Amino acid sequence: MSDYKLHLLVCGGTGCKASQSELIYENLKKEIGNEGLSDFAQVVRTGCFGFCEKGPIVKIIPDNTFYTQVKPEDAKEIVAEHIVKGRKVERLLYTDPVAKKTAGSTREIGFYKKQVRIALRNCGIIDPENIGEYISRDGYEALGKVLTELSPADTIKIIKDSGLRGRGGAGFPTGLKWELAAKSPGNEKYVVCNADEGDPGAFMDRSILEGDPHTVIEAMAICGYCIGADKGLVYIRAEYPLAIERLKTAIKQAREYGLLGNNILGSKFSFDIELRYGAGAFVCGEETALIHSMEGGRGEPTLKPPFPAVSGYLGKPTNVNNVETFANIPVILTKGAEWFSSIGTEKSKGTKVFALAGKINNVGLIEVPMGITLREVIFEIGGGIKNGKKFKAVQTGGPSGGCLTEKHLNIPIEYETLVAAGSMMGSGGMIVMDEDDCMVDFAKFFLEFSVEESCGKCTPCRIGNKRLHELLDRICKGNGAPEDIDRLINLSYVIKDTALCGLGQASPNPVLSTLEHFRHEYDAHIIDKKCPAGVCKALMTYEIVPENCVGCTACARACPVGAITGERKQIHKIDPKLCIKCGACLERCKFNAVIVN
């Protein structure tokens, strides 16, 4: 059979699936069948394209047409116009929000222009449930090459030379980690893939597993060969059902092809992979806690050393890497360490995947070379701030990171520069805030997360974070005292210095960085009892401007607690003691008579 001349790629990531991409896929297939073009055009369900803001996405190959926000009923028009007659469906093309121009192909879309896709190289291109498509794009070539031509030590050297560092947060050199596990004595060792992605708003690992599961399987097998392990375990959240399903399919296919199992590709090396499900605890992203959870114990961290490379899963030498780290391995081995280290900066090589979220125009998943500036990421790829508002800050590194402000926009994104600026790389969550966000409330939000997720083992984290949260809550409610600032700072440093694991040590970061860059907002809450951004409800008062009030009674009828009094055609009044600050009156008033202070 000859190849298909046209490919219709439909996003099958969780985001687009939630917007009926499955039905779009079915409809496109049906319409193509109706036109008698089933041998001519192929419909493929792929992984995430990254441009989640505009999903569901349908991309037509080879002319690279990018259709956004497609609905199931659009399938008929796409097939009748584009597939049969070669005419693009203009109304579904992406329109640049700034230039107001429609983009005929992906190359004209700002979101993709500065991206370099290594870990996401197959996401949105191949069908993740078809091992043949992965193989057709040099999949398992690296594993074959390593098993046939390279010794474990040679392979580790290539990874070391590439300069790849862990993508889960701390940035430990991957090659060195493998070497430690390889040198560790023992004939039973384990390779673990950390797919316990827990940062609020982050979905890098999920997208890789959903869009290209074979790359993780291949990399784990390579790691097994290097360190001398014949068993791999993927620790994945049970709340990622699609990623689990695709991973299971991929493992099954790899076994059928003899790419997992005994004597892989005729070599002496045997390797297989099993899944372990996590219940969604943030602390289990920490490798010792993760290992305890896999063993069936409580997900609590323990002191290092001993490092997992010496005593990990079941007390055996174990190498733990994050999903994105693994996704880089096969390409490094096929294209070479030199190629990889030519991308990025001196100390941070390659690329990093980020999940853009918050008040940004192009919410989605991006992969950029290290060294790119925050400004490029937020204003060029991200398309700037929603609704033309003013940029205020960006949080990198999730609840363990810090916020970066306007003055940091031009710093290059690297492990070291981000730490120097008071934040961290983290696993890749990037939450953008605009002028309407209150930084005290924001710090409180992340603290709340850390309090919830603390495993409770060590006192600084269990009790310290709780107290920090209480202080912030008090400030947000207008009961803060000037001494509270010093209390916050002192307690933060105590927690940082004494907590057992990374979660506790990093949890005060959002407090410290907001205090450093937005001290004036804390002062406004404590001294003036005002929330400048208008977020903290307790500090707001609703009032009626007598000059504007016409006495239409709309606000009084909208008020759920009867706090507004006034006769028809008379000026109304809000009783501050009864007002619950729900804002219903503000929404209802047509005469701008209700104001918030």
Partner 1 sequence: MTKLKSLNDLRKIRDELKSKTSIREKGEHPENLVQVKVAMATCCIASGSREVMNFIVDELEKRNIDAVVTQTGCMGYCYAEPTIEVTIPGKEPVVFGYVNMKKADEIIERYIKNGELVDGIIPVNYETIDNK
Please give the residue ranges that form the binding site for partner 1 (CB under 8 A).
2-7, 9, 40, 61-64, 84-87, 105-107, 125-126, 132-133, 135-141, 144-145, 147-148, 256-259, 261, 265-266
Minimum CB distance to partner 1, residue 367 (Å): 14
* 406 Cβ contact partners less than 8 Å away, ≥ 6 residues apart: 391, 392
Pick 112 or 446: Cβ nearer partner 1: 112
C-alpha dist (Å) from residue 22 to 25, 44, 306, 363, 502: 5, 11, 47, 21, 40
Given a contact cutoff of 8 angstroms between Cβ atoms, the answer to whether 383 and 98 are in contact is yes
CB of 136 vs partner 1, minimal distance in Å: 4
What is the 3-class SS of 356-403, one letter each residue? EEECECCCEEEEEECCCEHHHHHHHHCCCEHHHCCEEEEEECHHHCEE
Query: Closer to partner 1 at the Cβ: 105 or 553?
Result: 105
* Cα–Cα–Cα angle for 494, 496, 497, rounded to 5 degrees: 65
Cα(564)–Cα(583) distance, rounded to whole angstroms? 12
Show the CA angle centred on residue 500, arms to residues 494 and 503, nearest 5°.
85
Q: State in angstroms the smallest separation of the CB of 266 from partner 1.
A: 4
CA separation for the pair 130, 507 (Å, rounded):
41
> Minimal CA–CA distance to 397: which of 359, 447, 355?
355
CB of 268 to partner 1, least distance (A): 13
By beta-carbon proximity to partner 1, the closer residue of 2 and 387 is 2
Query: Smallest distance from the beta carbon of 258 to partner 1, in angstroms?
Result: 3
In angstroms, the Cα distances linking 411 to 35, 112, 375, 376 are 54, 21, 8, 10
Burial environment of residue 3 by CB neighbours within 10 A (0 to 12, 13 to 18, 19 or more): exposed
Distances (CA, A) of 535 to 477, 525, 530: 11, 11, 10
> 542-544 and 564-565: which strand pairing?
unpaired
Whose Cβ is closer to partner 1: residue 134's or residue 240's? 134
| Identity of the residue, 102 or 105, whose beta carbon is nearer to partner 1 in the bound complex | 105
Rg value, the chain, Cα: 27
In angstroms, what is the minimal distance from the CB of 229 to partner 1? 21
Rounded least distance, CB 556 to partner 1, Å: 58
Of 136 and 570, nearer to partner 1 (C-beta) is 136
SS (H, E, C) 102-166: EECCHHHCHHHHCCCCCCCCCCCCCCCCCHHHHHHCCCCHHHHHHHHHCCHHHHHHHHHHHCCEC
Nearest-approach distance from CB 224 to partner 1, in angstroms = 17
Task: Specify the residue, 25 or 203, whose C-beta has the smaller distance to partner 1.
Answer: 25
Residue 396 phi, psi (nearest 5): -110, 155
Q: How near is the Cβ of 225 to partner 1 at its closest, in Å?
A: 13
* Distance of alpha carbon 134 from alpha carbon 153, whole angstroms: 27
Closest distance of CB 252 from partner 1, Å: 11
- Helices 484-498 & 519-526 angle (0-180, nearest 10): 130
Q: Report in angstroms how near the CB of residue 279 gets to partner 1 at its nearest.
A: 35
Q: Which is nearer to partner 1, 80 or 582 (CB)?
A: 80
Nearer to partner 1, 113 or 183 (CB): 113
> Cβ of residue 365: shortest distance to partner 1, in angstroms?
18
39 or 274, CB closer to partner 1? 39
Residue number, 118 or 495, with CB nearest to partner 1: 118
Question: Closest distance between partner 1 and the C-beta of residue 121, in Å?
Answer: 10
For the chain, the straight-line distance linking the first and the last C-alpha, in angstroms and rounded, comes to 71
- Measured CA to CA, the distance from residue 175 to residue 223 in angstroms comes to 10
Least Å from the CB of residue 233 to partner 1: 23
Residue with structure tokens 């290539």?
Answer: 158
Cβ burial of 394 (10 Å; 0-12, 13-18, 19+) is: buried
Side chain identity, residue 394 = V
Among residues 105 and 373, whose Cβ is nearest to partner 1? Answer: 105
Nearer to partner 1, 6 or 485 (CB): 6
Query: Smaller CB distance to partner 1: residue 71 or 107?
Result: 107
Return the C-alpha torsion angle 489, 490, 493, 494, nearest 10.
-150
Report how far residue 298's alpha carbon sits from residue 276's, in angstroms, rounded to the nearest whole number.
Answer: 14
